[in-house]
Every structure is written in C-alpha cells, then in structure tokens.
Structure 1
Amino acid sequence: MKNQFSRRVARKAPNGPDSGLSRSGLRAQKFLLGTLVNKHDNGAIHRALLKFAHLNERGQGKFISQMNDFLLASPKRRRLLTEIWEREQDVSAMSLMASDRPD
C-alpha cells in the first residue's frame, strides 16, 4: 500500500484528481479557466480584477471571503447568494438615483 507521499509523487496529471487541490479548488480552477477561455467575458473579468485591485486591504479580504463562500457553496446556496447580491446591488442603485434627484 502506498503512503500519501508516494501518491503525490506518482500523480500523472498536475490538475487532475490527485493534484493535491481540494474539490473546491478544482471547481474554482475550472470556473476561472472556463471563464477566461470565453473571449466575450474577458472585458468583464478585467473590470472585476481592476475593481478588486482598487479595493483597500479590508475590502479585498471581504471580497476573498465572500468568493470562498460562493465557491464552497452548494448550487442552491450559490443561487441564494447571487439573489442576495443582486438585491443589494438594486438597493444601492436605487439609493444613488434617489440622492441624484433635486429637492
């Protein structure tokens, strides 16, 4: 019987099931690679990365935490998180529009 170390050394595919990445890490990798392959999404990805880069350290930490929660979530929980974020976005947009109205 091989020990854990020999299995890691003997792995064949660097990104396969024996790559040492967790299941969520593999999902994140597939998500990122799949998104980057689609040329139509590159603009959206670059905008998101630029927004992330301009966040302060606390904002970046919060973003990473929420991204991890999303990546580890079940499909049902992902839908719920997406709905929550969309509602928060709608509320923010409405409050901005309300603040732009003249009194």
Structure 2
Amino acid sequence: MFTFGKGDLLYHKKVTHATHDGPAGLPERALLRRLQLILAGQRFPAHRWELIAEAHSYGADARSVEQLQALPERRYNNLLEVLWAVERRSRR
C-alpha cells in the first residue's frame, strides 16, 4: 500500500485539486485519480515499461495507457513521481 509522507501530502493536495482538463476533456483530477487506482498494486521504484505492463494487467482504458506511454523512459521512485510527470505532460 502506498503511503504519503509530509511533503508528499502537500503535493497530493496540489495535484488532486487541479482544475484544468486533461486528455479528451477529462478533468485532470479524475485522470490522476484513475491512474492512482490503476497503479495501486505497482511496486516502486519502477521503469516506465513496468507501469505500462501494470496498466495492461489492470485492464486500464486506452487513454490511461497512452498517458503512461507518453512519459519519459526512466525509473520512477514512487507513485507521486508518476502523477507529477503525467500532470506536467498534460499541461503542455
């Protein structure tokens, strides 16, 4: 189970209260919450390909998988790093 530290909780509040729309008009908050559910069983640190494999294993929708495929190829230390990277890409 993923737990938040003090600094992570502050970031979590910032991320989950975002108001702009993500891909296909899905509110950013909903996209990030959906990715939280999809990646809830993922062990970290994890590479991008592992996140994508977990999403496929979960049965994630195509848009969620596309968001993970669009991430830079690197190792992510925790779920918040993934969510932050998705949020940054969706704001471009």
User: Scaled by the length of structure 2, what TM-score is found?
Assistant: 0.28
Structure (1/2) with the larger helix percentage:
1
Greater fraction strand: 2
Larger Cα-atom Rg: 1
